[in-house]
């Protein structure tokens, strides 16, 4: 009897272990596959819209993502350090549905190119992990934000690691709550360390160039000093 019970318990533990492994595989691999496909689709729709001077995502794309508010996807972020072809959609908000489909824009933070702090967040693991290698960014690296009328080029200046509740990093003047902004800044945030959420890795930069859409050429800004780092690395 005891032997039979032990054998049954062993089988249950093996089954439970297999289910855990399947869940981990789904969480760390399959969500990336699905999210990257969705994010590429949204980026392409945005790029086509910007090129044509349109007014938003085509209905067939917008309807495919009912969790997104109308016109929620409004920009494309490119980071040359993450690869020549790296591009992710920027979507208003930082809730779970948004971060599963791209990079989220903190509600109430500045718009691209605006004086203040354009603050964005992205997953470091799962769901396409757009900021997986955020810690590889170096001083002077460019972060490019494409919008319909203009393209904004920021340069990275500094990074820091904070606790999740230390939201002063996304204030209009980072780490100086209450101060009035005088420059157009950018802040990128993601979980830290990888595969954990105990801290946040935060990178700050400032606007160095604004280029009208009709004059924009990605190749003029897509160079980096040193090796590129794939966001999937």
Q: Is 191 a catalytic residue?
A: yes
Look at residue 184 and give its three-state secondary structure.
strand
What are the Cα distances from residue 107, in Å, to 134, 171, 209?
Answer: 21, 11, 24
Cα–Cα distances (Å) from 7 to 16, 88, 147, 164, 230, in that order, read: 14, 50, 62, 45, 46
Q: Is residue 228 a contact partner of residue 82, using CB atoms and an 8 Å limit?
A: yes
Catalytic residue among 105, 132, 191, 204: 191
Tell me the two tokens of residue 149: 């009328």
Distance CA 29, CA 125 (A): 9
Contact 196, 202 (CB under 8 A): no
Query: Around 212, how many Cα atoms within 13 Å sit in the side-chain half-sphere?
Result: 2
Q: In Å, how far are 84, 104, 124, 153, 183 from 32, measured between CA atoms?
A: 20, 17, 11, 27, 35
Q: Looking at 105, 123, 132, 192, which residue is catalytic?
A: 123
Cα gap 47→63, rounded to integer Å = 18
Known catalytic residues? 123, 191
């Amino acid at each position: 009897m005891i032997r039979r019970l032990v054998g049954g318990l062993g089988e249950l533990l093996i089954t439970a272990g297999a289910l855990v492994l399947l869940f981990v595989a789904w969480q760390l691999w399959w969500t990336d596959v699905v999210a990257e496909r969705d994010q590429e689709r949204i980026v392409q729709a945005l790029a086509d819209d910007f090129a044509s001077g349109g007014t938003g995502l085509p209905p067939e794309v917008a309807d495919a993502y009912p969790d997104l508010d109308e016109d929620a996807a409004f920009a494309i972020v490119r980071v040359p350090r993450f690869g020549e072809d790296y591009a992710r959609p920027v979507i208003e908000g930082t809730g779970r549905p948004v971060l599963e489909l791209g990079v989220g824009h903190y509600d109430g933070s500045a718009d691209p190119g605006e004086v203040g702090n354009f603050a964005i967040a992205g997953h470091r693991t799962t769901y396409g992990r757009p900021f997986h290698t955020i810690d590889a960014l170096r001083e002077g690296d460019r972060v490019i934000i494409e919008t319909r009328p203009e393209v904004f080029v920021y340069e990275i200046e500094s990074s820091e690691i904070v606790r999740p509740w230390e939201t002063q990093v996304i204030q209009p003047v980072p780490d100086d709550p209450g101060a009035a902004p005088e420059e157009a800044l950018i802040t990128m945030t993601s979980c830290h360390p990888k595969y954990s959420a105990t801290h946040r890795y935060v990178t700050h930069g400032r606007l160095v160039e604004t280029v009208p859409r009709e004059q924009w050429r990605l190749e003029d800004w897509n160079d980096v000093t040193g090796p590129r780092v794939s966001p999937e690395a």
